[in-house]
Amino acid sequence: MSLKDLRISEAEHKTRIEKIRGEMRGSRIGALYLTNPTRIMYTTGFSYISTERPLALVIPMDEPLFFMAPQLEYDHIRGECTLADEVYTYPDYPGKAHPIRIFARQMAERGLGSSVIATDSFDGAAGGFGYRGPSLRDLMSKARFVDGRDIVDSMRLVKSKQEIRLLRESARWCEVAHDILLENVRSGVHDALIAVRSSHEALARMLKRLGQRYVQFKIALSPVVVGFRGQVGRGSAIPHAVYSKEKIRRGDVLVSEAGVEVGGYTSELERTVIVGKPGSKVVRYFTAMLKAQDAALHEFRPGIACSKVDDVARQSIEASGLAEAIRHHTGHGIGLDGHEPPWLDPGDRTIMRQGMVFSCEPGLYVPGYAGFRHSDTIEITGKGMDLITHYPRGLEELTI
């Protein structure tokens, strides 16, 4: 894949499907039935808006894969997914005949009525948007259903060269977007307005450069998002803040975030930004946060348990006398989803392998005062790790 093609190639999707069939063969599974949009996109490259209307991808062991979907998705699947053999449709949900009853009949007609079926939903639908319906497992009483989530999810743990290249392209535009964000920061302005302006400017620059090579896969107002998301002043002490009533003021600590979707993949870049000259308290927390991230970054390499990285970051924070400011683990896997396994957490003993990709983001949070967090995206290499995101990390460079 060259950067002329800002998406996963059809050849790689075919390879993924053959790997899935290899797992199925070893477990004597007759078909894999998928409803989760991310798993479907990973497998076939087809992306859609999941609603109350059931949609399923079925990969039989020895027959071509097929879709079962609402009529409104027929042309979409045919136009976007060359791997699909058949696309069976129903009029709409809930319909005179419920879609899952139609799916059960179609599965039987394809010779799967008495098969072992691995699935990520025993109900037969992704759910959401108020969806209700009979269970596919109950309707197909002669079939045996087993949990098939890990068939795809285990493959997603290690990224291919194509996936890494898309994440690096995402990171390149995250860095551009973050530059634009810092240029737009002003005291007396609401952070949401700064975010919208900065995201627009970054998107315009990216589209001008990439042109028709760029394709947005995920539904969002913009594939470029950069801002502070309410992590302003006291709000920066809320790791997953949503909104701030306050405008940015001199003396505020801000926690930024930048994410750009490329080919369905999104890297993560976050920084702690200071508005005005930092005081001694800011210096203390910022320095401790940076030391913890440095300690964690030093541990990434093949053969290390994910929990070890979190242990080292926590030990660094404890050595700074700030253990009470910890609110979350050190990071997580990242790729098609913003958060995906493995987790840099005491409870995750997954051993790191070459090609895994993580965020590294130990944070410190003081309620009523401020929060301090950098996040970088890193790749596990043959000998250690390599940063996918590259952006200044020092206090002086991040003081506005």
Quote the pLDDT of residue 1. Answer: 46
Quote the pLDDT of residue 219. Answer: 87
Token pair for 288? 């401790």
Q: In terms of Cα–Cα distance, which of 336, 350, 261, 356 is closest to 39?
A: 336
Residues 6+ apart with CB under 8 A from 62: none
DSSP-derived letter for residue 323 is G
- Give Rg (Cα) of the chain: 23
What is the C-alpha separation between 198 and 196, in angstroms, rounded? 6
Length of the chain: 400
pLDDT in tens, the chain (400 residues): 445 689 999 999 999 999 999 999 999 999 999 999 999 999 999 999 999 999 999 999 999 999 999 999 999 999 999 999 999 999 999 999 999 999 999 999 999 999 999 999 999 999 999 999 999 999 999 999 999 999 999 999 999 999 999 999 999 999 999 999 999 999 999 999 999 999 999 999 999 999 999 999 998 889 999 999 999 999 999 999 999 999 999 999 999 999 999 999 999 999 999 999 999 999 999 999 999 999 999 999 999 999 999 999 999 999 999 999 999 999 999 999 999 999 999 999 999 999 999 999 999 999 999 999 999 999 999 999 999 999 999 999 999 9
